Amino acid sequence: MTTELAARYTPADVEPAILARWNDARAFHADPADTLEHGRKPYAVVIPPPNVTAALHMGHALNNTLQDILVRWRRMAGYNAMWMPGTDHAGIATQTVVEKRVLAQDGKRRTDFAREDFVAKIQAWKDEYEATITNQLKTMGCSCDWDRQAFTMDPPRAKAVREAFFRLFKDGLIYRGKRLVNWDPATQTALADDEVENQEIDGHFYYLRYPLVKTTASPASAYAESYITVATTRPETMLGDTAVAINPRDPRAAALRGMSVRLPIVNRIIPIIEDDYVVLPVEYGGDPLDTKAQFATGFLKVTPAHDTNDWDIGLRHHLPVINVLSPTAAISKDHGWPEEDFAQGDDELRNLLGMDRFEARKAIVEWFRREKLLAEVKPYRHSVGHSYRSHVPIEPYLSDQWYVATTKAIHGHRAGENVPGTEVAAESLVGFALRAMEPTQRGGEYGARSREVMKTDEVQRNRPWEGRLRFIPERYARNFQTWHENPRDWCISRQLWWGHRIPVWAADLPRPADIEPKPTDRGPDAQVYAALDTAVGGKFSAVFSQKFPAAQYHLTVPDQQGSPDHVRVYICLRHEHQACEAWLKSCGFVQDPDVLDTWFSSALWPLSTLGWPDDTAELAAWNPSATLSTAREIITLWVSRMVMFNIYFRDCLPFRDVFIHAMIQDGEGRKMSKSLGNGVDPLDIIHSHGSDGMRYTLAQMTTQTQDVRLPVLRDAATGRNTSDRFDLGRNFANKIWNAVRFALSYLNEDPGDTTGADTELALADRWILSRLARTVHDTDASLESFEFSGYAQGLYDFIWRDLCDWYIEIVKPTLRQSMVQRGVLAVCLDVSLRLLHPVMPFLTEALWEPLNWAAPDRGAGVLGKGVPGIQIPVSKLLIRSVWPIVPATLIDPEAEGEFALAQQVITAVRQVRTQYKVPPRQQIEVSAKVPPALAQKAIMRGLLMETLCNLTVRDLGPKVEKPAGAAVAAVGQIEIYLHNLIQADAEKDRLGKKLDELQRSIATLEGRLSNASYVDRAPPHLVKQSQDQLVAAKAEAENLRGQIAAL
């Protein structure tokens, strides 16, 4: 049976069938037993789980192509390779898209539904997009172990999240804190700092006057004015001011010391305090180049509840915190605003209640204007944080949140034992992350100190993970390090419905009056236990363990233990246990309504996908995994947290190498994003160029750069995007298809009588095998060092330039008879397909089968003695075939040098042919003068010329003279005379140009060699080289002059 290949490669006709073949063979599936029982080296990659918010775009296509290249390569190279697929629930992002859709479709808001009903809607969305994403990845050919597909909110992952939370909670690393968070009033949720986008907006500085109040404590002041002026961009927050601050270095500070101001509208009396944070205005010694100093008045209104810096000032000066906003960012007295303000405040105060923050801003400014307390308004362009989802300005908002203490020393830590060169406790989550860094990638003081310590301190080396985390490209290690040297605690609660519910139940229990509260270092005190015992009608621990012998819990109380009447208690349950939860509810406990930050479950991904917290074979085999490939913007959000958690929970790294791929931008250099609408669906590209074409092009673009531009064309008729950048990969695929098609047409044929045919490797054979050996070597080196572009480019050059343009063209006339050439060609194609398979899996797999039919032994019988050492055992499926071993001994510098000379001669002859407009099909006659040393070999070159230049060699040797009327093609000392092309003027012209070129290079060389410093100081071999070149160039120039004269 022979397989007829079409003249053109049509991916759509091939890819689905190949995919089915892989599926039938379960070719993507990996078994941990291969490692644990049979000793195969493990190679695991966990996919960065795409968000289920939307379909994948080109950035995902790039990242997943690179991962697939690594996994397929390692699989062929004999590793037990497993690629773990899955998706991320992406809390806020997914909830937001669903809220938008429900609002657009039904005109309903989230709060119009019961929590479970709305979560079901999000679940449906998730199912839809998870299917879309999975289909995209499969269509791309990603060889994920689909049997293992995971989702960050499925039951096994929920179990891991719960366990992780419980352990952190029990170890005192999770705490409840009252903090200012980035509040999104539209979605009513707290955002992480990283979820806030800054936008430049045109705003105003409002200059507000606060009247001074003289108190008994203040001296009869010398201060000239009866008011001070504060500057603010957010006048509405003045309602919550609890102080006005001045810099102690301000010359006016002394005169105001001890004085107060009356806060307009509210009539609250607030102190003037002194704090270094306040920027000095230019006229009082501020930096004239500082924009803030130009706008500053020297007086800063301090609103601890509504500004993060003011919160810090408030802590320093023990100021009251007055929250004047509701969660929707309307002025409200129901969230911590003392009633007495409303007794003494102006009528205006009541009018403001219920107003939106921007409405209130206008009203307050207007009021100040009316009351002649508005000094000035200046336009001011500044950046304002916006929610990355709802795009409304965020509001710093006081709320209760759960935090992970990332810098807190984990028990067992000895005081003062910090990560060298930092303030970070060595045995803390952040300490783990820093110490995990590969020592050569550590920079600055930390790098210097830690390398010193690692040399001397045994303790530092007793951790299996220490010093092994490596970033590629290396520069990203610095991002990672800097982030961890300035750590903050991690806010893990989100006011959302879509996510892992926080497994904590809280109760405010009546405070037992008869027991003294006794503060302790750790854990609840006697009073708390008494309150609990009362609530459950017995000793709490006894009651609990009697009722639920299998359940486990941990108790904590917050730092501020509630009100005088009540104590607050938090109970974290280790496992899901409905009966226990119901019982807690009956005792007055309420489950925390919030869910966990998405990154909490993502941080566990390398663990949870392998079955943690259970002690599974998968974990033993594939954690730590080998490589994480991801985007630079989540180095801190995600990479850091996986490292911290994996070390904390399992005492090993989640992965050793972190490859950071480029960001794909559109033609204008903008990041591809859904909001800009410039994203590209990989399926569109697959539609226009095929999966392999897309994958090859993406790999070829992956250099060490951090951004890649991809100009995109949109087809108005179909709405599909495409880009001619992908022509590169599509054309290459077609080229390979046709090279194999060509080879098959010969290999499938009976050679007939081969007596007298070549049995030795000729120059071209030795040359192409040498190039093949180099290509295998370069491919391995590129893949080892994550140089995807080099990998792709190297194969392009070998297959297209060397194999197709030269070798195949040379062997065409003789291939039918030559078993040597057949064998060499089969070997070259075999190895090429293997090397290409990781990046172009469909095409190569499709061609593998017909190659197996046509050349089952790859010509081994003939080549047995000629090409030793190539190991390419043939198996049915390429994906399961072994990575080729081609010995470096095949690298043949002599053949390469000789062949290169032949190439130059052939190119020179072709140039002359073109210049004289000789029709390609017209055969011409030549003779050639070659130096004696080359005469024998040059016969071979003559044969190559006859094939590749369509000519007949009449005469060849050291003594050949140029016939009259011949044009000359010269390479070094070789001269080819193309007969009967007599056009004296044209030839003069042509040779004159060559002479000019030669003379320029003679001048350059002479200049260089006449420079004494060069001759003395440059490496001798370079000097020698220049000298040789000069001699050769002079001889050639002399020769040319003679030819021109003879014309």
Partner RNA sequence: GGGCGCUUAGCUCAGUUGGCUAGAGCGUCGCUUUUACACAGCGAAUGUCGUCGGUUCGAAUCCGGCAGCGCCCACCA
Residues 671-690 binding RNA (CB under 7 A) are 671
Answer whether 654's CB lies under 8 Å from 625's CB.
yes
How many residues at the interface with RNA, by CB under 7 A?
A: 105
Q: Which of 470, 695, 730, 837 binds RNA (CB under 7 A)?
A: 730
User: Which of 68, 75, 143, 65 has the alpha carbon at shortest distance from 729?
Assistant: 65
Q: Which is nearer to RNA, 633 or 989 (CB)?
A: 633
Q: Which of 106, 371, 423, 633 binds RNA (CB under 7 A)?
A: 633
- Give the pair of three-digit tokens for residue 506: 């809280």
Cβ 615 to RNA, closest distance in Å?
Answer: 36
CA distance 26 to 143: 10
In the bound state with RNA, the residue whose beta carbon lies nearer, of 1022 and 1047, is 1022
- 1011 near RNA, judged by CB under 7 A: yes
Our finding on whether 546 is near RNA (CB under 7 A) is no
Element (H, E) at 769: helix 763-784
Instruction: Look up residue 901 and give its amino acid.
Output: L
- In angstroms, give the least distance from the CB of 80 to RNA: 30
- Of 215, 226, 520, 706, which lies in the binding site for RNA, with binding defined by CB under 7 A? 706
**Under rule CB under 7 A, which residues in 508-527 are in contact with RNA?**
none
Q: Supply the minimum distance, in Å, between the C-beta of residue 1022 and RNA.
A: 5
Half-sphere exposure of 378 (CA within 13 A, CB side): 16
By the rule CB under 7 A, 599 interacts with RNA: no
Tell me the angle at which helices 682-689 and 58-76 cross, rounded to the nearest 10 degrees. 70
Q: Indicate whether 733 belongs to the interface with RNA (CB under 7 A).
A: yes
CA distances from 174 to 123, 493, 525, 550, 962 (A): 28, 11, 19, 24, 91
| Residue nearer to RNA on the CB measure, 569 or 744 | 744
Q: Which CB, 86 or 487, lies closer to RNA? A: 487
Nearest-approach distance from CB 486 to RNA, in angstroms: 8
- SS3 call for 931: coil
Site for RNA, residues 247 to 286, rule: CB under 7 A: 277-279
Integer Cα distance of 285 and 365 in angstroms: 29
Residues 796-825 that bind RNA (CB under 7 A): 800, 804-805, 808-809, 812
Which residues, numbered 372-391, are part of the site for RNA (CB under 7 A)?
380, 382-385
Residue 215 binds RNA, judged by CB under 7 A: no
Contact between 921 and RNA per CB under 7 A: yes
Among 438, 543, 1014, 1041, contact with RNA (rule: CB under 7 A): 1014
Q: How far is CA 972 from CA 769, 806, 901, 992, in A?
A: 26, 21, 9, 17
Long-range contacts for 369-375 (Cβ within 8 Å, ≥24 apart)? 371/264, 373/208, 373/209, 373/210, 373/227, 373/264, 374/206, 374/207, 374/208, 374/209, 375/207, 375/208, 375/209, 375/229
Residues 6+ apart with CB under 8 A from 371: 264
- Stretch 13-52: interaction string toward RNA, x if CB under 7 A: ----------------------------------------
Q: Where are the alpha helices (DSSP H) in 37-89?
A: 58-76
Nearest distance, CB of residue 131 and RNA, angstroms: 29
CA end-to-end distance (rounded Å), the chain: 61
| 229 sits near RNA (criterion: CB under 7 A) | no
Quick one: 122 or 672, whose CB is closer to RNA? 672
The token pair at 647 is 């070390």
Rounded CA separation 920/910 (Å): 9
Stretch that binds RNA, among 124-132, 167-175, 903-911, 937-945 (CB under 7 A): 903-911
Q: Assess whether the previous peptide bond of 420 is cis (omega < 30° from 0).
A: no
Query: CB of residue 380 vs RNA: minimum separation in angstroms?
Result: 7
Residues numbered 70 to 89 that lie near RNA (CB under 7 A) are none
Span of 33-41, 120-128, 349-357, 1016-1024 interacting with RNA by CB under 7 A: 1016-1024
- Whichever of 910 and 937 has its CB closer to RNA, that residue is 910
Residues 833-872 that bind RNA (CB under 7 A): none
Rounded to a whole number of angstroms, the minimum distance from the CB of residue 463 to RNA is 27
> Which of 549, 919, 932, 1020 touches RNA (CB under 7 A)?
919
Q: What is the DSSP string of 447-461?
A: HHHHHHHHHH-HHHH
Tokens of 827: 């070997």
- Rule CB under 7 A: choose which of 457, 707, 989, 1038 binds RNA: 707
Residue type, 532: L
Q: Is residue 914 part of the contact set for RNA (CB under 7 A)?
A: yes
If one asks whether residue 904 binds RNA (CB under 7 A), the answer comes out as: no
- In the bound state with RNA, the residue whose beta carbon lies nearer, of 359 and 809, is 809
DSSP code string of 219-234: -S-----SEEEEEES-
Of 598, 670, 659, the residue nearest 190 (C-alpha)? 598
Which CB sits closer to RNA, 541 or 950?
950
Q: Which stretch binds RNA (CB under 7 A): 57-65, 211-219, 606-614, 703-711?
A: 703-711
Residues 287-316 within binding reach of RNA (CB under 7 A): 292, 295-296, 298, 300-301, 307-309
Q: Are 190 and 491 in contact (CB under 8 A)?
A: yes
Three-state DSSP class for 473?
Answer: coil
User: Largest Cα–Cα distance in the chain?
Assistant: 126
Query: Site for RNA (CB under 7 A): which residue of 395, 594, 802, 845?
Result: 395
| Binds RNA by CB under 7 A, chosen from 39, 288, 1019, 1020 | 1019
Dump strand ranges (E) for 89-238: 150-151, 174-184, 189-191, 196-213, 227-232
Contact between residue 1043 and residue 991 where contact means Cβ atoms under 8 Å apart: yes
DSSP helix, strand, coil percent of the chain (3-state; round to 5): 45, 20, 35
Nearest 5°: the CA angle 13, 712, 125 is 70
**Residue 670 touching RNA (CB under 7 A):** yes
Q: For RNA, which residue of 8, 38, 414, 522 counts as binding (CB under 7 A)?
A: 8
Minimum distance of RNA from residue 912's CB (angstroms): 9
**Closer Cβ to RNA, 230 or 652, answer by number:** 230
Neighbours of 456 (CB within 10 A): 9
H-helix or E-strand spanning residue 400? strand 395-404
Rule CB under 7 A: which of 447-486 touch RNA? Answer: 475, 478-479, 482
Note the Cα 786 to chain centre separation in Å. 14
Q: Report, in Å, the least distance between residue 724 CB and RNA.
A: 5
Helix (H, G, I), strand (E, B) or coil at 398: strand
For residue 795, give both structure tokens: 């194969």
Measured from the CB of residue 524, what is the shortest distance to RNA in angstroms? 34
Asked if 318 is part of the footprint of RNA (rule: CB under 7 A), the reply reads no
Residue numbers 134-163 binding RNA by CB under 7 A: none
Select 524 or 841, whichever has its Cβ closest to RNA. 841
The answer to whether 916 contacts RNA (rule: CB under 7 A) is no
Q: Which is nearer to RNA, 596 or 948 (CB)?
A: 948
Query: By CB under 7 A, what part of segment 963-1002 binds RNA?
Result: 997, 1001
Which range in 419-427, 606-614, 871-879, 1005-1013 contacts RNA by CB under 7 A?
A: 1005-1013
C-alpha closest to that of 484 among 410, 419, 545, 534: 419
Phi-psi region of 1023 (alpha: psi -120 to 50; beta: other; left: phi over 0): alpha
Q: Which is nearer to RNA, 199 or 871 (CB)?
A: 199
Stretch that binds RNA, among 159-167, 452-460, 573-581, 628-636 (CB under 7 A): 628-636
Among 709, 937, 962, 1041, the residue binding RNA under the rule CB under 7 A is 709
Q: How far is the CB of 1017 from RNA (least distance, A)?
A: 4
Let me know how many helices (H) and strands (E) the chain has, helices first.
37, 32
Alpha-carbon dihedral angle through residues 282, 283, 286, 291, given to the nearest 10 degrees: -10
